[in-house]
A and B are shown apart, each in its own frame.
Chain A
Amino acid sequence: MAIKELERVEIETIQGLPGRGPGRREILVPTATLVLLVLAWEAAVAAFQISPIILPPPSAALLFIGKNLKLLLAHTYATTHEILLGFLLAIAVGLVLSIVMIHSKIMSEALYPLLVLSQVLPKVAVAPLLLLWLGYGMLPKVVIAFTIAFFPIVINGVSGLTNIDPEMLDLLKVLKASRWQVFVKIRIKNALPYIFDGLKIAITLAVIGAIVAEFIGGDTGLGYLIIVSNSTINTTMMFAALIVLSALGMLLFALIMVVERVAVPWHFRS
C-alpha cells in the first residue's frame, strides 16, 4: 500500500508543475525584454542623432500608426485575407497529400520528389510567373502563400501518421484491427501534435509568401505599403508597416498555439 500512496503523491506534484499554460513569468520576461529593446532603440536614435530616413525612433513609427490607423488596417486586412486563404488551402492540400502518401507507396514515391522540387525552387523566383498567369489581384498572393506553406504540413503529417510505436501496431494486429480502425483510432490523433508543429512553421511561411507576392505586384497589402515607403523614402511608414506585420505574425502564431492546447491537451500533460 505504501508504494501506491507514494505514487499518488508523485502524481499530485507532477500536476502542480508548470506546463499547462504560460505562467506569469513566461509572459513577464519576454514583455520586459521587448520593452527594454524598444527603449534602447529610442535612446540610441536620440543619442546618436540618427536621421529618421535611416532609422526613425519607435515613438515616431507608433505615432504614425496612431495617425494612419485606417490606412494600415485596410492594408493589414488585405494581407491577412491572403495569408489565411493561403494557409487554409495549405492545410487542406497538405493533409490530403499526407494521407494519400501514407496509404499508397506508389503515390508516395511519385509525389515525394515533386514536393521537394516545389520547395527547392525559390518562390520569389516563380512569383513573377504566377503573377503573369494569375493577374495582379488577390489570387496569385494566395497561391504563393499556399505553395510555400503546405510543405511542412505534408512532411509533419506524414511523420505523425506513420510514427507509431511498432509494439502498438503489433497489439493492433493481435486484435485484428482493420486499416480503417488503425487510421481512425490511432493515426489521426497521433499525428495531431506533429501537424500543429507543422502549422506553426506554415503560418510564418504563409506570411512570408503573401508579403513577397505583394512586393512583386499589386496595389494593396502591407508588402505593397513597404515597397511604396521605400520608393518615397518614407522610412517611418516602412517601420510602421513592419511593426504591424510583426504583430500580425505573432498574433497568428499565438492563435495556433491556443488551438493546439485545446486540440491536443494530452500533449502538454506528461
Chain B
Amino acid sequence: MADARNVIEYDRVRKAYVQGKAPLLAVEEMSFAVRDQEFTSILGPSGCGKSTLLKITAGIMPVSGGTVHVNGRPVTEPVSDLGMVFQNPILIKWRNVVDNVLLPVEILRHRRRDYLDRALDLIRLVGLQGFEDRLPGELSGGMQQRVSICRALITDPPLLLMDEPFGALDALTREDMNLELLRIWEARKKTVLFVTHSIPEAVFLSDKVIVLSPRPSRVARLFEVEIPRPRELSVRYTKEFGEYCGSIRAEIKR
C-alpha cells in the first residue's frame, strides 16, 4: 500500500475473456489509484473494458492477473459498503419509489423503519417528492435513474461506482443530473468512480479523468482537472473547459 489516502488501487490488473477458443484480452496491465473523496472519471472507446473494470472493483468479477485493493484490502469477494449505479435504472417494476430505494436495506437485513426517513430525504434531494408511491412504469427515464441513485446512496456508502449512469438520458436531463450528482457528492463527500463516454461530462464532474486506450486497455493518460468548485453549468462554456476537452479528445483519437 503506497498511500493510505488511496481508496482503490489497481496494480497491473489484467482481464481476459474466453471467447470461443481464443482468449480475448480486455484489460492489460492497468495500474492507477483513486483517492479518498475524489471524483474520478474513466473515459475510453467502446468495448475498452470500462464496465469490466467497475465489476472487478466491486468484487463481482474476478481478475485474470494483478490485484485490486479497496480500502486497503485485496478484493476477492463482493466489496461491502459501496454503492453501484448502472447504465439502466434496473428498478423493480412492482415496487414503488420508496420500496425500490429501500431494497439494499432489506437485502442487508437492516430495519426498514431506521432508513425510511433517509429514503424520503434522498427522494427529496433528487427532486422526486410527491412521487414516493409511484411505480417505475409511471416515471420517465430520468426520474427512474434518480431513483436508482437514491438506492445506491441509501446505506450511505463512502464509495460510489457509476457505470455510464446518464448515458440513456437526453442532453438537458443529463446536465440536470450532473448538477444534482455534484451537489450530492459535495454535500456527502464520497469517493466516486464514474464511467462515461462523454468528454464534457467527465471534465465537468471530475478531479481526475483517466483515459483508457482501445482494447486491450491500459491507462493512456491521466488528466487532473483543476477547475475550481463548486462548478456551475456555465463552466462548460469557458476557455479553460474547452482546453481540457480538447486535449482529452486528442488523447482518445490516437
Contact = CB atoms under 8 A, between A and B. Distances in A.
Q: Is the interface of A mostly helix, strand, loop or mixed?
A: helix
A86 to B, nearest CB: 30
A266 B107 contact: no
Contact of B135 (A4, A165, A174, A269): A269
Given A170-B60, A174-B84, A185 B107 contact: yes
B78 A171 contact: no
Contact of A173 (B60, B90, B137): B60
B90 A175 contact: no
Contacts of A186: 92
A172 B90 CA distance: 11
Given A15-B138, A269-B137, A269-B138, A174 B88 contact: no
User: Number of contact residues on B: which range applies?
Assistant: 20 to 34
Contact of B87 (A10, A15, A167, A173): A167
B142 to A, nearest CB: 7
A10 B173 CA distance: 15
Contacts of A181: 107
A7 interface: yes
A174 B127 contact: no
Contact of B173 (A3, A14, A176, A270): A3
Contacts of A170: 55, 58, 60, 84, 86
B226 to A, nearest CB: 31
A191 B88 CA distance: 21
A10 B141 CA distance: 12
B78 A176 contact: yes
Contact of A174 (B58, B106, B143): B58
A110 interface: no
A177 interface: yes
B224 interface: no
B176 interface: yes
A14 B138 CA distance: 8
A185 B139 contact: no
A270 B103 CA distance: 21
Contact of B90 (A165, A176, A266): A165
Interface string B82-103: 1010111010111000000001
Interface of A: 3-4, 7, 10-11, 14-15, 165, 167-168, 170-177, 181, 185-186, 189, 264, 266-267, 269-270
